[in-house]
Amino acid sequence: MQQDAVASHEVKTRSRRGDFLRAFFSNKLAVFGTAVMTVFVLMAVFAPLVAPYDPLQTDLPQKFDGPSLAHPFGQDELGRDILSRVIYGARISLTAGLAAVALATVVGTIVGLTAGYLGRWPDSLLMRLMDVLLAFPSILLAIVIVSILGPSLVNAMLAIGIVFIPQIARVVRSAVISVRERDYIEAERALGAGNVQIIFSGVLPNSMAPLIVQSTLTLATAILDVAALSFLGLGARAPTPEWGAMLTDAFRSGFGVFVEGQHAIIFPGIAIALAVLAVNFIGDGLRDALDPRRRT
């Protein structure tokens, strides 16, 4: 108890932002994740400048040629340069993941805010709706949605975004409920603020921490799910250099890939795993830095 009092006294003398940055950047894994993600983002933005070859340029005689100086990651089942495809793939895979999470975050926040702030029947109705979505194993729900919309990368993004709405909505709702009855909200109401004003100035900013953490961790899963839908033939199609589609195309080219085209499997997979791992490190770091009580 004594220590807590001392700690909270100290906090007052430091800025919250400074605290957060110090906590985040003292976490080695979070720093590693940020560095890796920065490289991926730069790669995605400057793909045409960085990639040594055209990602769609086939070279059939060089099919499955292993890594060399000219082609550091080797060549795939159609002789395309795997390094260039991995670089261009960062654009597609990361954008698809981000778009899905953006959709889930915006819709989920609206649902969670409405349900948590209004309570009563809007809360019951919205949360029962979320329960129905949660009753589906996530990949099955994504399959249903893409079946309805038709298979394409954009529809895969939409489907994955919808799948994640309930998780975001739940996190926001419980955060809203925990701040709804606080004194400063009461004070705003007493000063004559309307519901909308209270939500945007009082409730939402104080619900941000769990929302940011949940969205970041959701991004990791979203990147994986975009790749999985591509594997099922419901996302990016050949010859798009999306990471999941690259693995799928290699797998579908026949058994030979396991013997002579192993590099065509290894490198795109490492790209996915590394990107997802980096996002997970960042998410864990954010959670620990934003919520000192849960620091592990």
Partner 1 sequence: MQIIPVLLGVSIVVFFMVRAIPGDPAQIILGQQATQAQVQQLRENMGLDKPIFVQYGLFLKDALRGDLGDSVVTGRPVTTELLVRLPATFELTAFAMLIAVLVGVPVGVIAAVKQYSLLDKTTSVLALTGISMPIFWLAMILVVIFGVNLELLPFPGRLDPTTAITSITGLVLVDSLLTLNFAGFWDGLLHLIMPALALATIPMAVLMRMTRSSMLEVMNEDYVRTARAKGVVPWRVIVKHALRNSMLPTITVIGLQVGLLMGGAIITETIFSWPGIGLYAYNSISARDYASIQGVVLYGALLFVLVNLVVDILYAVLDPRVRY
Identity of the residue numbered 38: T
Angle at 270 between CA 58 and CA 72, to 5 degrees: 45
Among the residue ranges 70-78, 177-185, 186-194, 243-251, the one whose residues contact partner 1 (CB under 8 A): 243-251
- The answer to whether residue 138 forms part of the interface with partner 1 (CB under 8 A) is yes
Distance CA 41, CA 38 (A): 5
3-state secondary structure of 207: coil
CA dihedral sign of residues 286, 289, 294, 296: positive
Among the residue ranges 45-53, 64-72, 181-189, 263-271, the one whose residues contact partner 1 (CB under 8 A): 263-271
Among the residue ranges 2-10, 11-19, 39-47, 127-135, the one whose residues contact partner 1 (CB under 8 A): 127-135
Greatest CA separation for the chain? 77
Distance CA 263, CA 269 (A): 10
Alpha-carbon separation of residue 224 from 70, 123, 138, 272 (angstroms): 30, 31, 12, 7
- The answer to whether residue 247 forms part of the interface with partner 1 (CB under 8 A) is yes
Q: Between 11 and 50, how does the x/- string for binding to partner 1 read (CB under 8 A)?
A: ------------------x---------------------
Q: Which of 1, 49, 69, 148 binds partner 1 (CB under 8 A)?
A: 148
Distance CA 39, CA 169 (A): 31
Among the residue ranges 14-22, 142-150, 174-182, 191-199, the one whose residues contact partner 1 (CB under 8 A): 142-150
- The answer to whether residue 269 forms part of the interface with partner 1 (CB under 8 A) is yes
251, 227 Cβ separation under 8 angstroms: no
Residues found near partner 1 in the complex (CB under 8 A): 29, 128-129, 131-132, 135-140, 143-144, 147-148, 220, 224, 227-228, 231-234, 244, 247-248, 251, 258-259, 262, 265-266, 268-269, 272-273, 276-277, 280-281, 284, 296
